[in-house]
Amino acid sequence: AKKGDEVVCSVKHTNIIMSLSIHQQRRVFLGPPDIGCLLRIIQDANINKKNSIKPGNLVSFGKPPGYDIKSIRKDYHKPMIVEELNDREIVAVAIGGDCYFALSSGGEVLCFGDKYLKKYFSRPDHDFVPLLNISEFYPSVYGPNGDKFMTDDHGDIIPFFERETGSIRAIDSSESHFLALSQLGDVYMLGNEGIVPTPPIDDIRNPRGLRPRKSCYVWPVHIYQLPNRAIDISAGGTFSAAILEDNTLYTWGWFTRCQAINVKNGKKTEFLPKPEPVRWTRPLFKRIVLGVSCGWNHMLVLAHDETRNGVSTYSCGQNDFGQLGHGDQENRNELEEIKALQQDDIITVEAGWKKSLFLESSGKKLYGCGMNMQNNLDHSTIPIRLHLVEGGIAEKDQPKICQFSVYKQILVLTESGEIYSWGPNKWGVCGHEADNMNHRPFRTKPTKIDTTHKFKLVVAGKGVSLGIV
């Protein structure tokens, strides 16, 4: 916030503003001088949590994408610079199965890996593409921006391949698909045919009625069905979510195992072919969506609830290990508030593989529920406190958390640039040595990774963990 901007809010939430503007050092944008200012600060902190850092180099530890398992050395648990992306000024990364995506400060999207690339990006004359620049982000005139910026001096629509491609500002990925968000609020997607909505009719790369090669879209498809421009995106196992400018939340894709949060004609749908608004257990109340995180089979949402005049945490989806945080193991097909967190000022949520994490505004209180949470081994159906440093030390002496990520392993980044990790350590994804590459030595307690790198960002994924230094 620049000098002179006015913020009016309740005393209860003053610590949130201090946390987000000073501790996390995020760029914030202020609206009218009312509670909306506070909500905008929280929302922008969630939107920019992985895309507002200084550019750096990409570091990996675990199984390097593109390498055969048998060739993995014992020191792959040590964070190492990814030489293929050296000096590319990386600001964001996303892991998709056996590959990863990186976003440069100039909006360039780079992809590197093995199986994922062979399935989606390989060309007829290439069996393996070690590094790929994804650049075909062509907008459709049927998207939320209409034909804005897509007409010539005579008012005629510019041909498809002559349009200016979108400059990307945020990315996310899962094992089945990849998402990108442009500076103009357009959402692009590539991956399995059954997960990607039908391309717009002006996308001449996919004539109507023609199935994509290998049943996969190998180019970024513009998700033109969104009714408004998007401000944040999240990729789940087989589904996607986007927060729009009007603070509403839309989802699409396959929703398996009670993950369907939309209902058609009284029946639960297994597949949403196009984006549709989410459903809430109390739909009559207005909510302002501030953040979203999609896990493998569940979703977490941070929203302002007018009934409480405060920020609430919601969840829905599969709940076999209690990852929804409701104190039971019953699946939900509508977003339901997590009552155990009502007294906490939660500012960031992260969903992973049957796990959920929540960060409180002080930056020192981290909560978790789901698989391997209680004593870091048993399952917990309600959010429990997770201490980075155990042994009964004072609360003020706990490390301050600025960012965290969860897949099966959990990575927590402190403001001093240190990483604490725990969980399954197959291939050394926790940054600690694995005795046997073919089994899962479990790290039961948060342990600091021994490295000389000072991290700015960490991302946990399948078989590999990434960071920006």
pLDDT, one tens digit per residue, over 212-264 is 555 667 788 999 999 999 999 999 988 999 999 999 999 998 874 444 444 44
295 contacts 175 by C-beta, under 8 angstroms: no
On the question of pLDDT at 337 being above 70, the answer is yes
- Where is mean pLDDT largest: 44-53, 139-148, 190-199, 249-258? 139-148
Instruction: Work out the pLDDT band at 52, boundaries 50, 70, 90.
Output: low
398 contacts 364 by C-beta, under 8 angstroms: yes
Question: Is the alpha carbon torsion for 397, 400, 406, 409 positive or negative?
Answer: negative
Q: Which pLDDT does position 262 carry in this prediction?
A: 47
Instruction: Identify the weakest region by mean pLDDT among 182-186, 269-273, 298-302.
Output: 269-273
Q: Which pLDDT does position 350 carry in this prediction?
A: 96
Token digits of residue 365: 């209180």
Per-residue pLDDT tens over the stretch 125-157: 444 446 778 888 999 999 998 888 888 888 888
Exposure string for 366-385, b = 16+ CB within 10 A, e = fewer: bbbbbbbbbebeebbbbbee
Query: What is the phi/psi pair of residue 75, to 5°?
Result: -95, 15
- What's the gap between Cα 205 and its chain centre? 28
- What's the gap between Cα 62 and its chain centre? 20
Task: Report the alpha-carbon distance of residue 182 to residue 172 in Å, rounded.
Answer: 12
Beta bridge partners of residue 380, listed in sequence order: 370
On the question of pLDDT at 16 being above 50, the answer is no
Q: Which pLDDT does position 64 carry in this prediction?
A: 63
Q: How is the chain split among helix, strand and coil, in percent rounded to 5?
A: 10, 40, 50
On the question of pLDDT at 409 being above 80, the answer is yes
CA angle (441 as vertex; 439, 444 as ends), nearest 5: 155
**What region, left, alpha or beta, does residue 369 occupy, with left being phi > 0 and alpha being psi -120 to 50 degrees?**
beta
Q: Which pLDDT does position 116 carry in this prediction?
A: 46
Nearest to 231 by CA among 299, 183, 167: 183
Q: Which pLDDT does position 344 carry in this prediction?
A: 87
Task: Report the alpha-carbon distance of residue 347 to residue 387 in Å, rounded.
Answer: 18
Question: Is the alpha carbon torsion for 136, 105, 176, 294 positive or negative?
Answer: negative
Secondary element (H or E) of residue 18: helix 14-18
pTM of the model: 0.84
More confident residue, 259 or 336: 336
- Where is mean pLDDT largest: 278-282, 300-304, 342-346? 300-304
Beta bridge partners of residue 413, listed in sequence order: 403, 419
167 contacts 135 by C-beta, under 8 angstroms: no
Instruction: Identify the weakest region by mean pLDDT among 129-138, 325-334, 347-356.
Output: 129-138
Q: What is the DSSP letter of 52?
A: S
- What's the gap between Cα 71 and its chain centre? 30
Q: Which pLDDT does position 24 carry in this prediction?
A: 31
| Radius of gyration of the CA atoms of the chain, in A | 22
On the question of pLDDT at 304 being above 60, the answer is yes
Instruction: Work out the pLDDT band at 450, boundaries 50, 70, 90.
Output: confident
Question: Beta-strand (E) ranges in 87-151?
Answer: 90-96, 99-104, 109-113, 132-134
Q: Which pLDDT does position 433 carry in this prediction?
A: 78
